[in-house]
Amino acid sequence: MNHVLLPIAPTANGRLHLGHIGGPMLKMDVLARHYRRLGERVALIGSTDPYDSHILLRGRETGATPDDVVRYWHPLIERDLHAVGIVPDRFMNLLDEPWRRRNHDACARIIRDLRANGLVAVRRERFPFCTATAAFVTGGFVRGRCPQCAEPVSGYFCEECGLHFRPEQVIDTRCGFDDCTPEEREIPCLYARLPDPGAVIRRIADMGVPDQYGRVVRDYLRRQGPELRLTHPGTWGVPVAVEGSPVPQVAFTYVVCGLAFLTLSAQIGAEELGLAPDTAVHTVASFGFDNSLPFLLGGLGLAMALRDLRPTDHMLLNRFMTLDGSKFSTSRNHAIWAADLAAETGGDAIRAYLADRSPARSITDFSRAGFADHRDKVLRGRWREALRYAWTKDRAPGSTAPSALMSRLDELLSAQDRALAPANDDLPAVVSAVNAWVDDGAPSDGAAWWLRGLALLAAPVTPDFAGRLWQSLGLAGEPLVHSSGIPAVPREAPCAMP
């Protein structure tokens, strides 16, 4: 089986905090390591989003060009990922060639194919216009309140209720350029029309996407109809010609570049695996709940509408994590950057705690005290104690593993396999399986086998520890489940306890 895993492309306007890691990022890496441990082929393909309007916001704040903003933050984002053991097979800066050209081509092709299929409509709508700067106010520069839940918004998506709306629907609109109350001017924009929204809703349910996310899509269709924005005014992005527009327009990143991201990254993943262009690969994407509409309705729905595109097989969503009870916030400096904490504690401790607190179905909290407690009591406590006990036993493996131990290992590996099935998306259960093995402890007649089992079970969540344990048992490479379910006999004598 060939898998291509696609974590959301974070906007290249700041570093990754633990909420980003615990939300959409870590689960893709855990899944990649799970598939690899089974001997399957995986490409983890990452990138950053260079065209989100928040790049322009950041540029205005710092006096940098958007290009400079992306080039500054992209490597720092990559460093935050690496610090917690998330090492994509490719991590693309979409402003670099050949990715830039391929991304622009993919976006242009999507618009062209939608037009050819009669799925593009020109809609006249009112956009906020800042008279002082003589510019349309778009994307993150549109401030106000959500038309559905009245929470503050910046842009056309609400992080609270997930709704996507038109700028003219925002309540109490302010302009992000100079905080004026903008005028409104009518302009034409392109919209995509979904030919069969019912089929998209059924597909979302069949994928096993929890209903709380499917509901966001149904609410949108009821409120806004089966149309999705394709363009808005602007010059930073992928240019799109819009008939009758008095100003240049660009592809709406969330919908057009979102779909291009899914299809292009899947293709690049297949290339990474050395597969012929038409080989079937299993694709899984992962993103936050505020991206429900662009990814579920745009990424999936439009791919279903265009026959040449293969829709993503699974989409994993998440709610957000809070930090000590309140939202992570870069502007309030209420955040912990992944590489900073990893420098103190190592990536594994962060991964294990974040996996245990996965926000796949509800908001969860990263508590500093809870993290320290988990690290000290679970990892440095129970895990280390069980490891130390096993290490004192005879670690020369007998020729056959104790059968009771091996059936227990099978049971826990199966539990992890079920938990990691995309429709279940249950990282806490993956951690629980390791804890269960730890709490069972090593049997007196099979410490070596128990230690291998620990390395195997821990490999997706705490890969650094698991890899070192595996190698200190004299085994080569990374932990790998063999077809028999029993790890291979070591080649050389064991060394120091990891």
In single-letter form, the type of residue at position 381 comes to G
List of residues 6+ apart from 267 with CB closer than 8 A: 277
Contact by Cβ (8 Å): 205, 169: no
Spell out, one character per residue from 148 to 187, where the chain touches Zn ion: x when CB under 5 A holds, - when not.
xx--------x-xx-x------------------------
125 vs 160 by CB, closer to Zn ion: 160
List of residues 6+ apart from 404 with CB closer than 8 A: 443
Distance (Å, rounded) from C-alpha 291 to C-alpha 259? Answer: 12
Distance (Å, rounded) from C-alpha 461 to C-alpha 477? Answer: 17
158 vs 390 by CB, closer to Zn ion: 158
Block residue for tokens 């662009």: 294
144 vs 479 by CB, closer to Zn ion: 144
- Output the smallest distance, CB 72 to Zn ion, in A: 32
Q: Is 355 in the site for Zn ion (CB under 5 A)?
A: no
- Output the smallest distance, CB 158 to Zn ion, in A: 3
What's the full length of the chain, in residues? 498
Burial tier of 303 (Cβ tally within 10 Å: 0-12, 13-18, 19+) = buried
What is the DSSP-derived secondary structure letter of residue 398? Answer: P
Segment 109-148, which members bind Zn ion (CB under 5 A)? 146, 148
- Size of residue set near Zn ion by CB under 5 A: 7
What Å distances lie between residue 411 and 52, 404, 414, 489, CA to CA?
A: 45, 11, 5, 21
In single-letter form, the type of residue at position 443 comes to P
> Would you put residue 495 in left (φ > 0), alpha (ψ -120 to 50) or beta?
beta
DSSP characters over 115-149: HHTT-EEEEEEEEEEETTTTEE--GGGEEEE-TTT
Distance (Å, rounded) from C-alpha 144 to C-alpha 176? Answer: 10
Phi, psi of 397 (to 5 degrees): -70, 135
Rg (CA), the chain: 24
Strands across the sheet containing 321-323: 326-327, 321-323, 364-366
> Would you put residue 156 in left (φ > 0), alpha (ψ -120 to 50) or beta?
alpha
149 vs 396 by CB, closer to Zn ion: 149
Six-digit token string for 443: 């049997």
Contact by Cβ (8 Å): 216, 292: yes
129 vs 165 by CB, closer to Zn ion: 165
Instruction: Give residues in contact with Zn ion (CB under 5 A).
Output: 146, 148-149, 158, 160-161, 163
